[in-house]
Amino acid sequence: MSTEEQSLTGEQMNSLEKVKKQLKQVFGETTDLAVEPVDVGQYKGLMCYLTTMTNSAFIMEHVVKKLAMSEHKEPISKEETFQQLEISAYSGLSHQTLQNIDDVMFKIVLGNAAIFIEGCAQVLVLDVRTLNSRSIEEPSTQNVVRGPKEGFTESADTNMSLIRRRFNNVKLRFEKYELGYLTHTAVYMAYLDGEVDEEILKQVRETLSSSHIDSLFDSGRIEEMFHSKGKGIQLFPTVYSSERPDAVCSCMINKRIAIIVDGSPFVLIVPTIFPDFFQSPEDEYQWVVIGVFSRWLRYFAFVLSLIVPALYIAVTSYHQELIPSVLLTSIAAQREGIPFPASIEILLMEITFEILREAGTRMPRLVGPTISIVGALVLGEATVQAGVVSNINVIVVSLTAISGFVAPIYTFGSKVRFFRFGLILLSSLIGLYGLVLGCCLLMVQLTRIESFGVPYMSLFSRWDKRRVT
């Protein structure tokens, strides 16, 4: 009987030597693996964890101290010791009891500490993950003047607590997924149960669980995944991402699903509709009129940034009769002596601006002033004075550039900016007609897209009685 039991336990990997060997086999010679012999009650034990995923003070305070306290005077069996540990000593910590050594290894990688007891089949796995992460700071995008200044950080736990803190509601649900064959990144789906449409929820779950990616370092990857799921070509972004907990929460109230990726301060919102990209969280915290005004201003700026250069080209090179004669003379006077036609002139300056913008975002902070001096003086003033481009051209390009940045979501602006070039091309080929056709194409595209079955842009949807939102 006893020999049989011994052989059984021998098979079940719980002799400490064997565990050590196995750990070594799996983890190799990695320096951050701590395998330390400890005393668990009257028995010998082994604790192992990754030092990079926790800090030693935490281990000392919460794990080792309690191991020592769990010593009992009278002898008890291994199983009882184990239960004692599980129920009384570590009741405050999140813990799990596992049997399979592979699962244990995986948990260790995720930042848990495993406690093996000599000869005991079960392994106690404690969540001791304490990661250093950026403290909560003001978000760098989507700035507001009035309103909460907290922003999401790279830690998903922090982000979830930021959301939960705003919803003191039992209906808030977090569902966990692990994405990436190599990285096993935690992805959380947050929603208000009962509010969100079941069909959409099902689709999101399906997409998340059927993803085939090997690594995931930012929510941008998932954004692309959701985006490419839609049928046909989609020129406009169909996923909203935000760094602001208040923006995310106000979206979740409106029956959306938030997706939090560990390691990314950008939380995704699906389904997304077009007006979302013109909404700043600040709009709700102000007098209604100002909010509405600034929202319309944003739409206006969006339209401006799209069509102004194309319109300029179309009107000056094809339809001069549409310009009031006074303005026409002043434009003509300025363009006198300019060697390029209007379309090339505009393209030249637009591309210059794009280069400046790219340089401005990527360069180190310290050389910033250099770029702005070169940009403003050399490209602005000097080109005009040298007679390479006209003054009105600089006005047009800078107006477009500024209005391009009005959209509260940077990704939206950066994607839409490229349509401008298409429109410039069309209008320099066939004038106003081309511009109108280009705009029509964009509008058709806008109304065609659906984000998880929700129409991207539907003007009168709020008057639909069947709609619940």
Partner 1 sequence: MTPSKVNPVDTFTLQLVFLLSTSIIFGTPSVVPDSWLVGLVAFFPACLFIVLYSAMLSSQHDLGLYPMLEKAWGKIAGKMFVLLYAIYFLYIAARNIRDMIELVMSALLRITPVPILTSLFIMLIAYTALGGIKAIARFASLILCIVLLMLVTLAVFLMFSSSIILEQMLPFLSKGMWPVIQSAFTHSLWFPYGEIIVFLVFQPELGGAKGFRKITLYAFISACIILTISDLLQIWSLGIESKKYSVFALLDAARLINIANIITRMDAVVALIIIFGTLLKCSVFLFACTEGIARIFKVKTGKLTFPLALVAGAFSILVTRNSAEHVTEGLKYVIYTMHIPLQLLVPLLTLILLRIRYRKGAAT
List residues binding partner 1 (CB under 8 A).
196-197, 199-200, 254-256, 271, 273, 318-319, 321-322, 324-326, 430-434, 436-437, 440-441, 443-444, 446-448, 450, 452-455, 457-461, 463-464, 466-469
Question: Of 34 and 430, which CB lies nearer to partner 1 in the complex structure?
Answer: 430
The tokens for 104 are 């244990």
Least distance CB 469 / partner 1 (angstroms):
6
- DSSP letter at 455 equals E
Question: Of 132 and 325, which CB lies nearer to partner 1 in the complex structure?
Answer: 325
Least distance CB 446 / partner 1 (angstroms):
8
DSSP secondary structure of 249-297: HHHHHTT-EEEEETT-SPEEEES--GGGGG--GGGGGS-HHHHHHHHHH
Least distance CB 457 / partner 1 (angstroms):
7
Question: Of 352 and 447, which CB lies nearer to partner 1 in the complex structure?
Answer: 447
Strand-pairing partners, residue 39, are 44
Question: Of 133 and 317, which CB lies nearer to partner 1 in the complex structure?
Answer: 317
Question: Of 366 and 468, which CB lies nearer to partner 1 in the complex structure?
Answer: 468
Separation CA 64–CA 229 (nearest Å)? 49
DSSP secondary structure of 28-71: TT-TTEEEEEEEETTEEEEEEEEGGGS-HHHIIIIIIHHHHHT-
Question: Of 156 and 200, which CB lies nearer to partner 1 in the complex structure?
Answer: 200
Supply angle C-alpha 387, 388, 389, rounded to 5. 95
Question: Of 22 and 447, which CB lies nearer to partner 1 in the complex structure?
Answer: 447
- C-alpha radius of gyration, the chain, whole number: 30
Peptide linkage before 364 cis (omega within 30 of 0): no
Least distance CB 408 / partner 1 (angstroms):
20
Question: Of 35 and 436, which CB lies nearer to partner 1 in the complex structure?
Answer: 436
Least distance CB 206 / partner 1 (angstroms):
14
Least distance CB 119 / partner 1 (angstroms):
56
Least distance CB 58 / partner 1 (angstroms):
41
91 and 157 in contact (C-beta within 8 Å)? no
Question: Of 209 and 469, which CB lies nearer to partner 1 in the complex structure?
Answer: 469
Q: In what order do the strands lie in the sheet containing 267-270?
A: 172-179, 185-192, 257-261, 267-270, 240-242
- Give the residue carrying structure tokens 């959701």: 226
Q: Using DSSP, state whether 243 is helix, strand or coil.
A: coil
Separation CA 100–CA 64 (nearest Å)? 24
Question: How far are the Cα atoms of 25, 190, 247, 251 from residue 223, in angstroms, in the given order?
Answer: 38, 15, 17, 16
Question: Of 116 and 452, which CB lies nearer to partner 1 in the complex structure?
Answer: 452
Least distance CB 439 / partner 1 (angstroms):
9
Is residue 387 left, alpha or beta, with left meaning phi > 0 and alpha meaning psi from -120 to 50?
A: left
242 and 279 in contact (C-beta within 8 Å)? no
Least distance CB 45 / partner 1 (angstroms):
52
Least distance CB 384 / partner 1 (angstroms):
26
Question: How far are the Cα atoms of 114, 162, 198, 206, 467 from residue 171, in angstroms, in the given order?
Answer: 33, 16, 15, 22, 22
Question: Quick one: CA dihedral 304, 307, 310, 316, positive or negative?
Answer: negative
Nearest alpha carbon to residue 48 among 83, 24, 73: 24
